[in-house]
Each structure stands twice: as structure tokens, then as C-alpha cells.
């Protein structure tokens, strides 16, 4: 039974709901890719499925539009799969439980995947229609955007003729994005020292941080929201003097490098005689954190519980590990000197865990200046090596430079003004977009990004505006139908 029946545009929400029924978190794309291929085959649409997981559709111009410049529509098929703690939803196998309420679409206890499922849904709605006027259309649906833009980085641009590209991966109606930051993924590894807490009577406790707002680490890093993994490092480091021989048996925080961690759980073994003082130190520091974040992240919650399971094979000195996590940089490093209010350089500790007998701390590094990006990567490397660890740098991607001469942007502004009686906002953003990869592959690409209003993407509070989706889709169709 459809849960989004009656929402307009009906065809867009029909395909969007179909997408939400198919698990499609990053690196779990077999089913959604098969769906996209089947969609083309059932309709006789020409398509390409490449070795990087991407799917490309081609639809000829409608009558009277054969001489117009072709348009490339682009979005990505994967989502950041986040589940609310305690609900046990397996997002690798289970559909999303979507709902429409108060003008918004969401999913119960999980992220929605509006980023970027709504782009795919709009593209499919256009492909499925025979009453929409348009020039030659090429539609690129990329794979694994959320984990380093791997589909876009490996894409062979020679299969694309058009040079006007509309990226549908923005989340604010009325804003046309015309530039973005570059970035990299950095994983810092700290080896386990297999410490053993000293004493005859050892207990194990669980420390849990939860209730934080989280969000997209590019678009929301400037809001100063708490990162659960970083706060865990701070709190445990402050408490470590109360139990010098305490060890961390396990620690888990965050779900993706580009999502601000909302939860972190650590299991700690320590002498029973230290328990009261250690717990008091943790709660005292947690009170300070709660006061500091009372406005920016008021849901911060810390709990300490006893009788936690103890990992027998892996243990890391609490003092050593917490000092490392606490020392790792996080958040806004520099603001732009050219664009007021734009973050220039930042990083996010997105995933923290223990695996392969070592701490694994995974960062998304971003900057609109490549040299600043590289300097921040080097800072992480130096810090980790100073603690005796190692690093792995992957997913380095280019920024997207603003074009002073853009016929596509000029046309989009003209059509927007005619439809709404006002000008759109033109901006560059701190978040990374696949536009950077496409711009780097062809010097003559003319690119603009747009999309409907969304809230709190990459979190369980993610919401998609119904009215904005209708408005943006109407605008997109008007743009396709407007001749140069």
C-alpha cells in the first residue's frame, strides 16, 4: 500500500516511494541499480551501466527541440543510511517506513534518503513521461557519492555529448549552487597496546553519549553541533586520571565520514576500587558539556551503566586512546576571506571504532582551497604518527570553481524570474558535490546545482518538503521547455 498517494507531483512521489522500498545505502546498491536498469529495459530507453556502478539514460529531444543545447541531469543513487539507536532496523535489507505529515515526508526512526533519492525520482518521472517538452536529455545516476564520489570519479565523460549539466543534489529551493569545496577522506589508525587493568577485582562499564542532532558535515559544520565521538574523547580523557590503569575494550561512534556523529558507546574495564571516582569524573565533565551545548545541541545525554560485556582480545590504554581522540582536530578550521559566511576549511570525525586490533578514526576533510585541504590532511598525519599510529588517505576530490560566463546559469535566472517574480540566490557551498568531478573532466562543462527544501539530511530527522518538491519540479520542466 502506498503511503505517499496523492502527493504532487504524483509521478515523482510514486518513484520516490518505490526507491525508499529498496535498500540503497552506500556500497549496498545492487538492488537499486538493478531497479534502475529494469526501469530502462521495460520502457525501451537507451541506457549505459558502467563498471563503476553508474547508470546513464538517454532520451532524444521532443519535436521542435532538436536544435536546442542538450541538457544533462545528474544525481546519485546511494543514501547515508542512519538508524535511530535502539530500533534494530537493518537498513541493508529492510525498506524505509515513510510517512507524510505537516507538509513534509520523513521516515520513521531512519534517515529518509531524500538526498538524493528525490533527484532520481524526478529523473525517472521525466523519462516515464511523453508529454514533457525537452532538448536531448542525458541523465547520469552515479554510485557511492556519499562515500567519496566514487562513481563520479570513475565516470567516462566520453559517453556524454551535452555540456550543460543540472546537478539535482542541493537542498534549498531558490538557491542555485555554482561552486563547491574539494575534499579527502583520511583514516587515522592507532594500534592497540593490549593493556590490562591492574587489580584483582575488575569491572566493566558502558559509557554512552546520545541525543545529539548530527547532520551533514559540509552544510552544518558551522552550526557548532556536538560530535559524539569527539565529546567521548574529551570526557574519557578528563576522567582518565581517576583510573590510571583503565582500558577501552570497544568504542563505536558515527556511521559515515560526512555525517556528524550523534551517538558513541565505549566499554571500559577498570579496577573496582576506581569505579566511583571514575564515574564521578565522567559525570562532572558531562555536566560541563551539557551546559556548553545547551543551545546548539540541547539533547546531549550521557549514561553510565555497569556489567557491560568485556572484549577479551583487544584492549587499549584509556589514557592513551582518549588523549589521541581528544587531540584530533574537529569542526571549522577557517572561514572564507572572499565569501562572507562561507566555511573555507573544516573536518569531521565521522566514524570511530576499534577493528583489526587498532582504533579507526575516519575523517571527511573539506576546503575550497586545495592547498589548505592538503595542509589539514598533513596535520592529521603528523598528529597520528606522533601517537605511534598510521594513516590512509583516499577519496581526494576536486573543488568546482565559479564560472563568470555561464549561459546555463543566465537562462536559469531568467526562467526563475519569469516564474516567481524574483531572482534566485547564487552561491558556492562548503559541501562537496559531484559537480567538481564533472567540471574536472571537461573544461567546457557549464554546471548549476539545485534541489527542493530538505531538513537535517543524513540524520533520523531528515525531512523533504512536499510543496518545495512540486515547485522545483515545475521549475525544472519549465526550464527544459524554454528555448534559448
As annotated, the active-site residues are 78, 145
Q: Which DSSP letter does residue 233 get?
A: H
Nearest to 448 by CA among 416, 478, 409: 409
Q: What is the three-class DSSP state of 8?
A: coil
Nearest to 425 by CA among 441, 437, 412, 436: 412
Read out DSSP for 109-154? Answer: TB---HHHHHHHHHHHHHHT-SS---S-EEEEEES--TTT-HHHHT
Nearest to 369 by CA among 358, 361, 377: 377
Q: What is the three-class DSSP state of 188?
A: strand
- 398 C-beta neighbours (distance < 10 Å), count: 21
- 138 C-beta neighbours (distance < 10 Å), count: 20
Read out DSSP for 352-405? Answer: EEEETTEEEEEEEEEESSHHHHHHHHHHHHHHHHHTT-EEEEEEEE--BPPPS-
- 84 C-beta neighbours (distance < 10 Å), count: 17
Contact by Cβ (8 Å): 89, 23: no
Q: What is the three-class DSSP state of 305?
A: strand
Contact by Cβ (8 Å): 115, 80: yes
DSSP H or E run through 239: helix 228-239
What phi and psi, each to the nearest 5 degrees, are found at residue 230? -65, -40
What phi and psi, each to the nearest 5 degrees, are found at residue 329? -70, 155
Contact by Cβ (8 Å): 91, 110: yes
Distance CA(32)–CA(143), nearest Å, equals: 10
Distance CA(362)–CA(349), nearest Å, equals: 6
DSSP H or E run through 49: strand 46-49
What phi and psi, each to the nearest 5 degrees, are found at residue 335? -95, 155
Distance CA(374)–CA(259), nearest Å, equals: 21
CA distances from 23 to 56, 106, 247, 437 (A): 20, 16, 37, 26
Amino acid at each position: 500500500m502506498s503511503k505517499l498517494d496523492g502527493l504532487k507531483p504524483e509521478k515523482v512521489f510514486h518513484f520516490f516511494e518505490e526507491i525508499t522500498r529498496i535498500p540503497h545505502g552506500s556500497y549496498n546498491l545492487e538492488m537499486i541499480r538493478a531497479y534502475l536498469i529494469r526501469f530502462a529495459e521495460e520502457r525501451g530507453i537507451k541506457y549505459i551501466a558502467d563498471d563503476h556502478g553508474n547508470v546513464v539514460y538517454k532520451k532524444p529531444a521532443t519535436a521542435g527541440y532538436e536544435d536546442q543545447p542538450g541538457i544533462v541531469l545528474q544525481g546519485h543513487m546511494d543514501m547515508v543510511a542512519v538508524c535511530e539507536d535502539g530500533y534494530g532496523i537493518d537498513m541493508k535489507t529492510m525498506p524505509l517506513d515513510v510517512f507524510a505529515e505537516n507538509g513534509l515526508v520523513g521516515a520513521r526512526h531512519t534517515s529518509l534518503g531524500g538526498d538524493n533519492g528525490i533527484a532520481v525520482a524526478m529523473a525517472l518521472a521525466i523519462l516515464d513521461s511523453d508529454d514533457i517538452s525537452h532538448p536531448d536529455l542525458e541523465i547520469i545516476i552515479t554510485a557511492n557519492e556519499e562515500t567519496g564520489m566514487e562513481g563520479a570519479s570513475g565516470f567516462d565523460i566520453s559517453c556524454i555529448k551535452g555540456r550543460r549539466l543540472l546537478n539535482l543534489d542541493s537542498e534549498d529551493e531558490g538557491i542555485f549552487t555554482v561552486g563547491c569545496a574539494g575534499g579527502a577522506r583520511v583514516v587515522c589508525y592507532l594500534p592497540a597496546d593490549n593493556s590490562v587493568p591492574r587489580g584483582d577485582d575488575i569491572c566493566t562499564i558502558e559509557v554512552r553519549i546520545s541525543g545529539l542532532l548530527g547532520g551533514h558535515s559540509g552544510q552544518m559544520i558551522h552550526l557548532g553541533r556536538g560530535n559524539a565521538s569527539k565529546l567521548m574523547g574529551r570526557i574519557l580523557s578528563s576522567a582518565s586520571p581517576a583510573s590510571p590503569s583503565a582500558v577501552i575494550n570497544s568504542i563505536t561512534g558515527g556511521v559515515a565520514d560526512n555525517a556528524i556523529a550523534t551517538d558513541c558507546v565505549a566499554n571500559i574495564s577498570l579496577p573496582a576500587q576506581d569505579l566511583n571516582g571514575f564515574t564521578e569524573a565522567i559525570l562532572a565533565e558531562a555536566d560541563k558539556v551539557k551546559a556548553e551545548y545547551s543551545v546548539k545541541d540541547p539533547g546531549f545525554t550521557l549514561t553510565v551503566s555497569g556489567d557491560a560485556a568485556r572484549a577479551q582480545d583487544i584492549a587499549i590504554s584509556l589514557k592513551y586512546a582518549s588523549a589521541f581522540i581528544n587531540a584530533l582536530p574537529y569542526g571549522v578550521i577557517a572561514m572564507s576571506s572572499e565569501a562572507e559566511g562561507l566555511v573555507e576549511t573544516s573536518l569531521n570525525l565521522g566514524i570511530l571504532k576499534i577493528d583489526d586490533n587498532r582504533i579507526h578514526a575516519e575523517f571527511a576533510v573539506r576546503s575550497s582551497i586545495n592547498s589548505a585541504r592538503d595542509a589539514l590532511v598533513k596535520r592529521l598525519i603528523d598528529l597520528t604518527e606522533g601517537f605511534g599510529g598510521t594513516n590512509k588517505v583516499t577519496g581526494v576530490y576536486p573543488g568546482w570553481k565559479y564560472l563568470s560566463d555561464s549561459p546555463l546559469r543566465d537562462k536559469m535566472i531568467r526562467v526563475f524570474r519569469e516564474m516567481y517574480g524574483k531572482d534566485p540566490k547564487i552561491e558556492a557551498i562548503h559541501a562537496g558535490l559531484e559537480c567538481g568531478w564533472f567540471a574536472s573532466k571537461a573544461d567546457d562543462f557549464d554546471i548549476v546545482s539545485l534541489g527542493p527544501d530538505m531538513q537535517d539530511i543524513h540524520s533520523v530527522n531528515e525531512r523533504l518538503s512536499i510543496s518545495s518538491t512540486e515547485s522545483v519540479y515545475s521549475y525544472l520542466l519549465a526550464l527544459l521547455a524554454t528555448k534559448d
